[in-house]
Amino acid sequence: MEFKKVQRLKGEVTIPGDKSISHRAVMFGSISRGLTEVTNFLQGADCLSTISCFRKLGISIENTPDRILVHGKGLHGLSAPSELLDAGNSGTTVRLISGILAPQPFSVTLTGDASIQKRPMKRIIDPLTEMGADIKSISGNGCAPLSITGKHLKAIHYTSKVASAQVKSAILLAGLYADGETKVTEPYISRNHSEIMLSYFGAALTNRDTTVSILPEPELLGQKVDVPGDISSAAYFIAAGLIVPNSEILIKNVGINPTRDGILKVAKEMGGSITLLNVNEEHGEPVADILVKSGTLHGITIKGEIIPTLIDELPIIAVMAAFAEGTTTIMDAAELKVKESNRIDVMAENLSAMGCNITPTEDGMIIHGGAPLSGAVIDSKADHRIAMSFAVAALCADGITEIKDSQCVNISYPAFYEDLARLTK
């Protein structure tokens, strides 16, 4: 697909539902008793993979145009699937469902697409094994396909080397079935949607600093979940509104959970005009409209505890940095290498192709911004966040930008290009 420079962006955009929260609503609804009704569910390929896995585990899930109805059967209501479970491109599906499957009284094989089969699963295999699970990487390389044979689990206190909500959630979900209180400590706080939603469904969790504990065998009950717009999808409009001259965009109904809002802090620190309107809360998840106006940005250093709160936004932050005056340094973000693509290398290659001065590092990148960029052929590596980041970069670059595998935005934002184009009219 081809993109070119625009004069300005103006208007309103309503962002589709949060991917992390949509996955969790289906998963937690499936292991709760009774009906879970989910509105503003993200109809992206990743969340549809989660629905498909839980249907194979015997849960009836109705996907109607305005809501998802999950007919949950309780903690012990899943049944053995007759075929393998396919998580597609979704790391969240593989890692979280593993925590639910490890204690079930049956065996499963869990796999996904070529990208998933390269992503590290040892990070969940190790703690689940310590709890007594029988979970193995079938090819022996620490990646999916995984074979899981249900076992009784014991409670542990796990200290994770990475700040990962997927690792934390897998352990907490396994902890629902363990023989005592399960605890997870992480180096920095990662997104806490599992903790918020599990509490809402009836689980007993406590938080202290970077440690979360969960008690086993709660009575989980189905609930209504209205999914906030995904701040990770809003990020492309935040960046576009800031870097395309003469722009003003109102982004409606965006989740601004403090474990996800690093992009807002970074945008403001870079000098961006960001205003929150209609701040509200929906079952523990804060929501707001975000008003963005274009202006001059300057480079900053991004490192430490803010990184997990903007981990998925670093590709688009790198694009903002390319259009900012001065140098932006991103550190402590080695996790970028094990996302849907190696996002350090892929950002460096593609931004360089557009004429940006960028140096990849072991745990991030250094971007010398401010030079004009020109259109190029962008290899998205079928990574949705790379494709969307370069669709935004193209709006400020001279000439034509061609993005390969541009349809991969289906993973998290199927209508992205249409929504972006509407703001150029």
Q: Which residue is nearest to ligand S3P (CB)?
A: 20
Closest by CA position to 313, among listed 7, 90, 3, 19: 19
Q: What is the DSSP pairing of strand 301-302 with strand 10-14?
A: unpaired
Nearest approach in angstroms of CB 160 to ligand S3P is: 10
Answer yes or no: 134 catalytic. no
- Looking at residues 45 to 104 of the shown chain, list those that interact with ligand S3P (rule: CB under 6 A): 92
List 20, 294, 309, 350, residue binding ligand S3P (CB under 6 A):
20
What sign results for the dihedral spanned by CA atoms 248, 249, 255, 261? negative
Distance CA 149, CA 131 (A): 13
Window of 5-13, 135-143, 165-173, 291-299 that interacts with ligand S3P by CB under 6 A: 165-173
Closest by CA position to 290, among listed 243, 256, 240, 313: 256
Distance CA 134, CA 125 (A): 9
Nearer to ligand S3P, 165 or 288 (CB): 165
List 40, 93, 104, 166, residue binding ligand S3P (CB under 6 A):
166
Cα dihedral 59→62→67→68 (10° resolution): 20
Nearest approach in angstroms of CB 311 to ligand S3P is: 5
Cα dihedral 5→387→403→416 (10° resolution): -60
Q: Does 253 bind ligand S3P (CB under 6 A)?
A: no
List 335, 379, 383, 419, residue binding ligand S3P (CB under 6 A):
335
Window of 160-168, 243-251, 350-358, 417-425 that interacts with ligand S3P by CB under 6 A: 160-168
Distance CA 243, CA 373 (A): 12
Nearer to ligand S3P, 184 or 396 (CB): 184
CB-based contact 97:194 (threshold 8 Å): no
Question: CA angle, corner 352, sides to 350 and 358, nearest 5?
Answer: 115
Q: Does 373 bind ligand S3P (CB under 6 A)?
A: no
Residue tagged 């010398």 (tokens): 368
At 412, which amino acid appears? Answer: S
Binding mask 169-188 for ligand S3P (x = CB under 6 A): x-------------------
* Identified catalytic residue from 312, 379, 383, 419: 312
Nearer to ligand S3P, 89 or 223 (CB): 89
- Looking at residues 186 to 225 of the shown chain, list those that interact with ligand S3P (rule: CB under 6 A): 190-191
CB-based contact 157:85 (threshold 8 Å): no
Nearer to ligand S3P, 170 or 242 (CB): 170
User: Which phi and psi angles does 144 have, rounded to 5°?
Assistant: -65, 155
Q: Does 311 bind ligand S3P (CB under 6 A)?
A: yes
Nearest approach in angstroms of CB 246 to ligand S3P is: 32
List 195, 226, 261, 312, residue binding ligand S3P (CB under 6 A):
312
Name 64's Cβ contacts closer than 8 Å, sequence gap at least 6: none
Binding mask 110-149 for ligand S3P (x = CB under 6 A): ----------------------------------------
Question: CA angle, corner 197, sides to 158 and 19, nearest 5?
Answer: 95
Nearest approach in angstroms of CB 298 to ligand S3P is: 27
What sign results for the dihedral spanned by CA atoms 94, 105, 196, 14? positive
Residues β-bridged to residue 57 = none
Nearest approach in angstroms of CB 364 to ligand S3P is: 15
Nearest approach in angstroms of CB 389 to ligand S3P is: 14
Nearest approach in angstroms of CB 176 to ligand S3P is: 17
Window of 158-166, 171-179, 200-208, 282-290 that interacts with ligand S3P by CB under 6 A: 158-166
Distance CA 42, CA 379 (A): 26
- Catalytic annotation, residues: 312
Enumerate binding residues for ligand S3P (CB under 6 A): 20, 92, 164-166, 169, 190-191, 311-312, 335
